[in-house]
Amino acid sequence: QIAREIVAMGVRPVVVVYDEKEDLDLSQFPSGVEKVERADLMSAQEKLADTKGVSALIYVQTCAAEKRRRRKRGQFPDPDRRVFINTDVCEGCGDCGVQSNCVSIVPVETELGRKRAIDQSSCNKDFSCLKGFCPSFVTLEGATLKKAATQALDLPDLPDPALPAITGTHNVVITGVGGTGVVTVGAVMAQAAQIDGKGAGMMEMAGLAQKGGAVHIHLRLANRPGDISAVRVAVGEADAVIGGDLVVTAGAKTVGLMTTGRTGAVVNSHEIITGAFTQNTEFRLPVKDLQVSLEARLRDGLTMFDASELSRLLLGDSIYSNMMVLGGAWQMGLIPLSGDAIREAIRLNKAAVEGNLRAFEIGRWAALHPDEAARVIAPADTASLPADPVAYREARLVEYQGKRLARRFRKLVDGIEDKPLREAVAKGYFKLLAYKDEYEVARLHLATEAKARETFEGDFVMKFHLAPPIMTGKDSQGRPKKREFGPWMMSGFRMLAKMKGLRGTPFDPFGYSSERKMERSLIKQFEGDMQEVLPKLTSATRDPILELAMLPLSIRGYGPVKEANERAAAKRREELLAAIASGGTPTRMAAQ
């Protein structure tokens, strides 16, 4: 209807950009209206920007948070398709996040650096991450998530807390991120207030409602509905804060609602990924600073535990974390509602009732016994790193090419006595030696199904998203066009993996590309640099030499992404060599 009205006004051109996964009848649009898939949104915008006069672009796509709600109710198409990332193929370049701006792409820390994975519980299946220029992405058709294995936990008898008295109104602020059930917690509390015969006024959203966006719920509880004159909690008036997300809770907007001595808070300490990670590949939350900010304002009124990890380990899904935090807040005497009323409100909500009831009780226990809760989580937080990073990389090089390449690696590394420097050189040198060419990507993808079956089950079909150099064509950004390849590609991978002996020889058909030439030249350059700078090691030159050794770790990605990172690294290399030559001029350390 909107398109018809715009056309009737004489506006030309009119472009409809649509998500091809929507249940949309394109024939209903008036003639003359151009239809463009969402993947080509940028080119459509550029075209209209160059058009004189008035033009119109109509974007048709259901809100991501609304998609999830409707899918849970069976009211929206749910593609029988999942995205999976083989972390061995992934370079951790972050281009998938840049292209999709999706917070369901999460970091995975490995011995070979920070990689990427898909948070399947929050993925909205818009598949925009596939635009990232990377061969590690695989789509699985017919796959279902395995039910996560959970730990058993026998809860002790927990004492009921002394509930706070309500004087006028009791003001509660609930924080979190969009799409994680923050609004549900507020609704449960408002329903519980009604069951208890109390009044409740709730502002469901204060801020921008979006998947992964900051959400604040303002809730006033009173003995009588008439005692509530305004719903929004004013500066310094919060009596209780239920913090479902550390970043939002420690933000100035929330801290400003707190008052020392009056406000009590229970906060989820889990490091939930923010939108900044999609643009900054090495972004890390300033967790300590956030905690200090809350401690400074709340002092003894602050209780923290990792509700997300407890939910995952004990209930099989982090979606229960907010209900867990509510349980903790109630147990700490911050909520003037009876436990029976809260439990009945959970039942009336009719959403994952048993899980939410269990989460409420676990949250009570975790708030009372944070040290015990931390011990439950501790094994999952202990990274299984190899005892010797150098030996680990040597073994990987044997698998990659053979013992000859491993000996080359050892020849450079073994002569370094300074242990941190030795490991830095090993990491940088390995990154260059084990460049992921067509043979290596093929070899690593032979294990993709086994890796995928750690998360999924069912008789699924794998499809690969690649940009083979033998195929021409550019995408809307002028980069080599990615194409989808069916399960038959596994035969091609097996053949390519067997051909790795051709790597670096005159018979290597892929070795003549500019990318492969660049990779080989970087190896020789690094060897020359290390031979030049290692004899110059002093206390003054140590930092720039360490950074130079680790610099190859920043040359990540494939194709145009890797080339751009190499250019940035080349500039930094010149600065570091100059600093070392001058005797160790102070230099910033690159984040690795």
Contact by Cβ (8 Å): 420, 390: no
Token pair 């003054």 in the structure block, residue: 540
Q: What does the pLDDT average to over 177-198?
A: 89
Phi, psi of 158 (to 5 degrees): -110, 135
The pLDDT, as a whole number, for residue 574 is 96
For every residue of 235-296, DSSP letters joined together read TT--SEEEES-HHHHTSHHHHTT--TTT-EEEEE------GGGGT-TT----HHHHHHHHHH
Contacts 24+ apart (CB under 8 A), 156-164: 156/365, 158/331, 158/361, 158/364, 158/365, 158/368, 160/339, 161/330, 161/331, 161/332, 161/333, 162/333, 163/333, 163/335, 163/336, 163/337, 163/338, 164/239, 164/333, 164/334, 164/335, 164/336
The three-point CA angle 86-92-97 to 5° equals: 95
Residue 498: is its pLDDT beyond 90?
yes
Q: What is the pTM of this model?
A: 0.81
78 CB neighbour count, 10 Å cutoff? 14
pLDDT band at 205; cut points 50, 70, 90: low
Residue 161: is its pLDDT beyond 70?
yes
The pLDDT, as a whole number, for residue 507 is 95
Contact by Cβ (8 Å): 218, 228: no
| Structural domain boundaries in the chain | 2-61, 170-381, 387-437+511-592
Most confident of 180-189, 208-217, 285-294, 398-407: 398-407
| Model confidence pLDDT, tens digit, residues 17-51 | 988 777 778 888 888 889 988 878 888 898 899 99
Most confident of 141-155, 171-185, 565-579: 565-579
Distance, CA of 239 to CA of 259 (rounded, Å): 8
The pLDDT, as a whole number, for residue 7 is 86
| Model confidence pLDDT, tens digit, residues 351-402 | 889 999 999 999 999 999 999 999 888 755 444 566 799 999 999 999 999 9
Share of the chain above pLDDT 70, in %: 93
Residue 592: is its pLDDT beyond 50?
no
Taking all residues of the chain, what is their mean pLDDT, rounded to a whole number?
A: 89
Which stretch of DSSP H or E encloses residue 219? strand 214-222
Phi, psi of 18 (to 5 degrees): -135, 155
The pLDDT, as a whole number, for residue 436 is 97
Q: What does the pLDDT average to over 114-140?
A: 90
| Model confidence pLDDT, tens digit, residues 572-587 | 999 999 999 998 765 4
Integer-rounded Cα Rg, in Å, for the chain is 28
**Residue 502 tokens, joined:** 């051709």
| Model confidence pLDDT, tens digit, residues 242-278 | 999 898 899 899 999 999 999 999 999 988 776 666 6
Residue 444: is its pLDDT beyond 70?
yes
Distance, CA of 460 to CA of 141 (rounded, Å): 5
Residue 488: is its pLDDT beyond 70?
yes
The matching CATH number, chosen from 1.10.3720.10, 3.40.920.10, 3.40.50.300, 3.90.550.10, for 170-381 is: 3.40.920.10
Contact by Cβ (8 Å): 581, 571: no
Share of the chain above pLDDT 90, in %: 65
